[in-house]
Structure 1
Amino acid sequence: MYRYDHYDQALVDERVAQFRDQVARWKAGELSDDEFRPLRLQNGLYVQRHAPMFRIAVPYGMLASRQLRCLAQLGRQYDRGYGHFTTRHNLQFNWPKIEDVPEMLAELAKVQMHAIQTSGNCIRNITTDQFAGVAADEILDPRPLCEIMRQWSTFHPEFAFLPRKFKIAVNGAREDRALTWFHDIGLHIVKTDDGLVGFRVIVGGGLGRTPIRGEVVREFLPWQDILSYCEAIIRVYNRYGRRDNAYKARIKILVQALGVEEFGRQVEAEWTHLKGGPATITQAEYDRVAACFAPPAYATLPAIDEAFVQQQAESLPFARWVERNVRPHRVPGYAAVTLSLKKPGTAPGDVTSEQMEAAADLADKYSFGELRVTHEQNLVLADVEQRRLVDFWQEAKAAGFATPNIGLLTDMIVCPGGDFCDLANARSIPVANAVQARFDDLDYLWDIGDIELNFSGCMNSCGHHHVGNIGILGVDKGNEEWYQITLGGEQGNDAQLGKVIGPSFAAADVPDVIEKIIRFYIAQRQEDERFIDTFRRLGADPFKIAVYGDKARLKAA
């Protein structure tokens, strides 16, 4: 993974010293709360419903074991012994004291971490595929280009005060695992028939109050030009994006207002001033950064380890875990393993300090000391030998990481919701836990099969409910918490937005509603048909009738 040079380290250290002084002046009364607010936000420090929330950057999801141990110590010393991984790979602490944050930043700087641009109207953490570098369907490892983009976007003087926050996702494989269609800029690495590598550029995607699937603004862009072309896009947005209405300030609104053809024309015109300029990525610079992502010292192993095959035959629990939590690797004899942070009864995405240390130990022992954070709020160890998987499984199980539910209904994305967030209309964690409890039978989960259930506590869609096969959205009705259900969303190459099926439900009714939907699906599905395929074949009306009964039947008629 990337390691700071002396320029990187100096920048982060100076940032710590600057914020330490700002906090001291705020405590002394030399800065008002209003004056201090933008300064703390620039360092990832929010004030939430009950306490401050401190968001730490995990660029493109990569963590070294030493970094995870630092996070564990921060959680133990300055918080309540746990953290929360978000859908942008970052880690949040929900209970720090504001005066402790400079010390936390200083500790982070020692392990080459920071909180820069985890908040504010700037370019946020750049995300990518959690299996980057090891996926069999990969065209090019996106991590070096993500790192180059991170360096370019960090403290970019022109883009420190955009109309709204700005999110970029990069996917380097044939299957989109980075939710690129729903980012301000989505980038697909592509290769032409004659071997040229570049990007398909998507603009104007996003979830939130106005969910929109992005549109292709350029089918092929040489990889060397990606910084200057992104700069052209953001310049057009910075110039014409709305600043009078926060709900209409994202680039997706501008693209819709202009139309993608006119937006693209303006971008191309702006690019004429930038193309071939200092932002062009040279081969030497790419090679310098790519050297940080060179493959580890893999052993020479058979493609299939016979003992591993035998262990699956002898242990059904192990075989089930392998089927759900273990993915093929591009190097023979290795596998990528997902540690589930969705054990029933826990808040999805939460991880204790003890678990962070256990995950770091697993990474050191089995996966060259590196981990990845997924946008589904799990952890990945990307380089585990097949022959060691049974030992790995036993240790992961002891740490609470081995629930075999990846891709199943209880592997849900869930935002912190009304238990923590000022913006939330409703709590999400207790209702998610109630759904987990209703579907706690692993045999039943396996019979249901692949399904995505995502849960947001408000329209900001931090839980990606719009792209869940089943989405749950917390809404406020007369100062009471209610929950709206959407069906038909999907991420991936064929990404789609779900649609609301009808009136919302009280919290106590949500598990019953989800069970009605699942039972109807099981009754109607054809052999080996996924939930999303059944939904698309039948349409929404039969599902509405299954949920609402005669009222929906009369409306459909």
Structure 2
Amino acid sequence: MYLYDDYDRALVHERVAQFRDQVARRLEGELSEEEFLPLRLQNGLYLQKHAYMLRVAIPYGTLSATQLRTLALIARRYDRGYGHFTTRQNIQFNWIELAQTPDILQHLAEVDMHAIQTSGNCVRNITTEAFAGVAADEIIDPRPLAEILRQWSTVNPEFLFLPRKFKIALCSSLEDRAAIRMHDIGFYVYRGADGEMLLRVMVGGGLGRTPILSQPIREALPWRHLLSYVEAVLRVYNRHGRRDNKYKARIKILVKALGIEAFAEEVEREWQQIKDGPAELTDAEYQRVARSFRAPEYESLGSVDLAFGTQLASDPAFARWVEHNVRPHKVPGYASVVLSTKPGAAAPPGDVYAAQMDAVADWSERFGFAEIRIAHEQNLVLPDVRKRDLHALWQLAREAGLATPNVGLLSDVIACPGGDYCSLANAKSIPVAQAIQKRFEDLDYLHDIGEISLNISGCMNACGHHHIGILGVDKNGSEWYQVTLGGAQGRDAALGKVIGPSFDAADIPEVIEKVVGTYLAYRESEERFVDTLERIGLEPFKECVYRQRAVPA
């Protein structure tokens, strides 16, 4: 993983000192809340319903064991003993006292972490998939390019005051696990016929109030032009993006208004003026960064492990966990392990306690190379585990509550903090998620249902990517929930469609049960939910869900 240099450390420590002074002035009354607002947002500090929330960046979802232990320390000392991992590879602490914020940022700075640009109208945390560098289906490790983008975009003065927040994701696997089509810019990294690293550039994606999937504007962009092309896109957006209405300020609205062809032409004209300038990347610069992502010293283990096979055959519970929570690795004898943060009603999705963080840090050192990843689905990943160690790891993870064998199943719910914390939310997310998980806590039934995803958002901002699931809406001061079907991320990304009038929170578990029941009644062989839905359409689901139900006006 990337190690900060002297420039990185100087920037982060100077920002901590600056914010410590700003917090002191706010507490002494020298700064009003209106004056303090942009200053705290620049440091990832939000004022929520009950307390301040601090959002910490985890660039491209990679943590060291030392960094995870620091997050555990912050959770234990300054919060209520836990942190919440988000869909964009950040962690949020929901119960922060303002006076303690500079000390928290100092702890982060000491382990090369920060909260810079996790809020505000700027380029946010650069993301990629949790299995980057180790995935069996990976073409090129995208993390060096992600790190180059991180360095270039951090406190870049030209792009600190964009019309709205701006999100970038990269992917270079046969399966898109970074949801790149749901970002303002998404890059697919691949190799050309001559082996050169090339980029497919897609722009204008985003969820929220107006969900839109990104569209390609450039094919076969040479990697050397990564920064100059992003700069051209951002300049066009900065120039033409709306600033009079924040609901229409995202780049997706600009692309839709201009049309993808006109937007691409505008970007091309801008890019032609700057593409051969100082932003052009060199081999030396790429290699400087890429050295931090060289593969660790893997053992020569071979692809067959007799002891592992025996453990699978003799322990059905272990075999079930391996089936759902273990992923193929590019190196024979190794695997990547997904530690589920979704134990059901016992804890909200994405919440991890300090003791669990410490345990995961220990396991990353014992079973891997002291590295942890954060997945888009809010789970934790140990990327490099020897297959012969999987059984021992599973036993420890089960004791710690991190081994629920439900990755990719219905109870692997993605959810934002919702109305329990967020001042923007229309409705609660966590109680609804837990009610559904309780209804579907029978693991045998879950495995019979098969691959199906459920996402929940408490408002139109779509932090939980509700377009494949449930959206909380406000009806005259009451909390109601719309249900959408048909959404998907990945190479076949799609936006879900609302099936009809909204439901009261108490009805949601039964509604989901009816949706699942309809799927099971109509599916053919091992057909996935999305395939069944595409084949039969929405009507059978709507008819089942709304049968014998009084529809509210």
Q: TM over 0.5: same fold?
A: yes
| Correspondence 1:49 to 2:49 | yes
Partner of 2:363: 362
| Correspondence 1:459 to 2:457 | no
- Aligned match of 2:526 in 507, 528, 531? 528
Q: Displacement, 1:369?
A: 0.3
Pairwise mapping of residues 33-432 of structure 1 onto structure 2 (< 5 A)?
A: 33-345=33-345, 346-432=347-433
Q: Displacement, 1:174?
A: 1.8
Tell me the distance in 2 between the aligned counterparts of 1:429 and 1:246.
Answer: 27
For each residue in 1:169-188, what CA deviation from the matched residue of structure 2 results, as whole angstroms up to 9, or x when unmatched? 00011211110111000000
Q: Secondary structure at the match of 1:474?
A: strand
Q: Displacement, 1:193?
A: 2.2
Partner of 1:474: 472
Tell me the distance in 1 between the aligned counterparts of 2:536 and 2:547.
Answer: 17
Q: Secondary structure at the match of 1:336?
A: strand
Tell me the distance in 2 between the aligned counterparts of 1:193 and 1:175.
Answer: 20
So what's the TM-score if we normalise by structure 2?
A: 0.99
Q: Displacement, 1:304?
A: 2.0
Tell me the distance in 2 between the aligned counterparts of 1:413 and 1:139.
Answer: 27
Tell me the distance in 1 between the aligned counterparts of 2:221 and 2:269.
Answer: 15
Q: Displacement, 1:27?
A: 1.1
Tell me the distance in 1 between the aligned counterparts of 2:130 and 2:542.
Answer: 35
Tell me the distance in 2 between the aligned counterparts of 1:551 and 1:429.
Answer: 25
Partner of 2:25: 25
Tell me the distance in 1 between the aligned counterparts of 2:211 and 2:544.
Answer: 26
| Correspondence 1:513 to 2:514 | no
Q: Displacement, 1:196?
A: 2.1
Aligned partners of 1:545 and 1:552 also within 8 Å: no
Q: Secondary structure at the match of 2:96?
A: coil
For each residue in 1:524-551, what CA deviation from the matched residue of structure 2 results, as whole angstroms up to 9, or x when unmatched? 1100101111000000111101111278
Letter in 1 for 2:424: L
Q: Secondary structure at the match of 2:470?
A: strand
Letter in 2 for 1:15: R
- Are the structure 2 counterparts of residues 552 and 526 from structure 1 closer, same or farther at C-alpha, using a change threshold of 3 Å? farther
Tell me the distance in 2 between the aligned counterparts of 1:70 and 1:329.
Answer: 28
Q: Secondary structure at the match of 2:120?
A: coil
Deviates more, 1:135-144 or 1:240-249: 135-144
Partner of 2:493: 495
> Which runs of 5 or more residues in structure 1 are unaligned?
none
CA RMSD in angstroms comes to: 1.0
Q: Secondary structure at the match of 1:95?
A: strand
Q: Secondary structure at the match of 1:133?
A: coil
Aligned partners of 1:183 and 1:203 also within 8 Å: yes
Tell me the distance in 2 between the aligned counterparts of 1:509 and 1:304.
Answer: 49
Tell me the distance in 2 between the aligned counterparts of 1:191 and 1:370.
Answer: 27
Q: Displacement, 1:306?
A: 1.1
For each residue in 1:87-141, what CA deviation from the matched residue of structure 2 results, as whole angstroms up to 9, or x when unmatched? 1110000001011000000011110000000000000001101110011111110
Q: Displacement, 1:375?
A: 1.0
Q: Secondary structure at the match of 1:406?
A: coil
Tell me the distance in 2 between the aligned counterparts of 1:173 and 1:439.
Answer: 32
Partner of 1:542: 540
Letter in 2 for 1:238: N
Q: Displacement, 1:220?
A: 1.4
> Which runs of 5 or more residues in structure 2 are unaligned?
none
Partner of 2:3: 3
Letter in 2 for 1:442: L
Q: Secondary structure at the match of 1:322?
A: helix
Deviates more, 1:272-281 or 1:90-99: 272-281
Q: Displacement, 1:194?
A: 2.5
Q: Displacement, 1:262?
A: 0.4
Tell me the distance in 2 between the aligned counterparts of 1:216 and 1:340.
Answer: 34
Q: Secondary structure at the match of 2:95?
A: coil
Q: Secondary structure at the match of 2:274?
A: coil
Tell me the distance in 2 between the aligned counterparts of 1:401 and 1:550.
Answer: 40
Aligned partners of 1:485 and 1:502 also within 8 Å: yes
Tell me the distance in 1 between the aligned counterparts of 2:521 and 2:116.
Answer: 50
Aligned partners of 1:72 and 1:354 also within 8 Å: yes
Aligned partners of 1:544 and 1:552 also within 8 Å: no
For each residue in 1:37-91, what CA deviation from the matched residue of structure 2 results, as whole angstroms up to 9, or x when unmatched? 1000000000001111000010000000000000000111111110000011100
Tell me the distance in 2 between the aligned counterparts of 1:124 and 1:521.
Answer: 38
Tell me the distance in 1 between the aligned counterparts of 2:254 and 2:549.
Answer: 39
Q: Displacement, 1:465?
A: 1.0
For each residue in 1:448-505, what CA deviation from the matched residue of structure 2 results, as whole angstroms up to 9, or x when unmatched? 0000100000111000011x2xx10001001000010000000110100000000000
Q: Secondary structure at the match of 1:381?
A: strand
Tell me the distance in 2 between the aligned counterparts of 1:25 and 1:5.
Answer: 31
Tell me the distance in 2 between the aligned counterparts of 1:365 and 1:419.
Answer: 37
Aligned partners of 1:57 and 1:125 also within 8 Å: yes
Q: Displacement, 1:435?
A: 0.3
Letter in 2 for 1:524: Y
Q: Secondary structure at the match of 1:273?
A: helix
Tell me the distance in 2 between the aligned counterparts of 1:73 and 1:99.
Answer: 17
For each residue in 1:329-374, what CA deviation from the matched residue of structure 2 results, as whole angstroms up to 9, or x when unmatched? 0000000000000001110000011111011111111111000001
